[in-house]
Amino acid sequence: MHHHFNGLKTTLLFGVMWAVILGIWAVMGARSSMLWIFVLIGLGTTFYGYWNSAKMAIRAMRAYPVTEQQQPAMYRIVRELSAKAGQPMPELYVSPTQAPNAFATGRNPSHAAVCCTEGILRLLDERELRGVLGHELMHVYNRDILTSSIASAMAGLITSLAQFMMFFGGGRDEDGEGVNPLAALALALLAPLGAAVIQMAISRTREYDADEDGSKLTGDPLALASALRKLEYGTAAAPLAPEPQLQTVSSMMIANPFNFEGASRLFSTHPPMEDRIARLTAMAGGRSA
């Protein structure tokens, strides 16, 4: 059981996104039939992205597959944790980037991949790497790729509908009267912003879950806490360039690879490191790493 009710939070956040979509539908009035066009497009793009998530993420990071001879520690840890969880072992990759990070992707446990950067393999010791890999495996076992794909599709749907209203205005209400154009304009401007914030909040709840579940899998929450502490400084010292192809992959990574400061942290896909470390320390009974 998750002590912080992250599953419930995710459900509630999805409910808010649906409420926004229905609100836009209501404002569109007579043009509500257009919603189905956007829904079908959103479903198509979501299915394609979800089905090919592993290939796209690995390609974006220019990662290459590794053998057990090349990365014996990765293989040993992932084989042990996969067996402990009763799940198939994912494919293992290494990205040549020096920025320290790791991510897991794939549509299900049978079609999954775990990737570490060369930077994180140099930065962490084996105990800390085990904590990180436990976290990443739980993203796969918790079907977080599916969750993030649905959240992305809903956010995209909200943005598309808002843009439609921006250019074509709202519809008509039940009495045949035109919808207040100022209300339609306000909704068109604010709905995408709200959807983006909610999408980021869903991503953060899944990170908390992976921290908790991964630590239960490894039995060593302080190992992950120690790794996150190193990654906080490592990613700040060597951030990734915010290239378009890396935007989607960044939400999968254990640490935010970009620099976020001030108000921009609201749109971060990751919770603050100090909060994650505090939760892990509490799991260990308050002991420090």
pLDDT digits (tens, 9 = 90+) for 64-100: 999 999 999 999 999 999 999 999 999 999 999 999 9
Cα(154)–Cα(60) distance, integer angstroms: 23
* Half-sphere exposure at residue 253, Cβ-oriented, CA atoms within 13 angstroms: 28
Q: What pLDDT is stored for residue 54 in this prediction?
A: 80
Phi, psi for 106 (deg, rounded to 5): 125, 150
Q: What pLDDT is stored for residue 53 in this prediction?
A: 76
Phi, psi for 251 (deg, rounded to 5): -70, -20
pLDDT digits (tens, 9 = 90+) for 19-73: 777 777 676 654 556 667 766 776 777 677 777 778 888 999 999 999 999 999 9
% pLDDT > 90, the chain = 42
Report the length, in residues, of the chain.
289
Please give the single-letter amino acid code of residue 151.
Answer: A
pLDDT digits (tens, 9 = 90+) for 240-282: 877 777 777 888 899 988 865 544 555 677 899 999 999 999 9
pLDDT at 1 over 50: no
Which DSSP symbol is given to 289? -
118 is catalytic: no
- Least confident range from 101-115, 170-184, 209-223: namely 170-184
User: How does the average pLDDT of the chain come out, rounded?
Assistant: 82
Can you give the C-alpha Rg of the chain in angstroms? 21
Task: Report the predicted TM-score, pTM, of the whole model to 2 decimal places.
Answer: 0.80
Cα(164)–Cα(155) distance, integer angstroms: 14
Q: What pLDDT is stored for residue 263 in this prediction?
A: 43
Q: What pLDDT is stored for residue 9 in this prediction?
A: 60
The more confidently predicted of residues 159 and 93 is 93
Whether 215 contacts 134, CB under 8 Å? yes
Write down the H helix ranges in the chain: 6-28, 34-51, 53-60, 72-85, 118-123, 126-141, 144-168, 181-218, 221-237, 244-250, 273-283
Catalytic annotation, pick one of 68, 80, 128, 136: 136
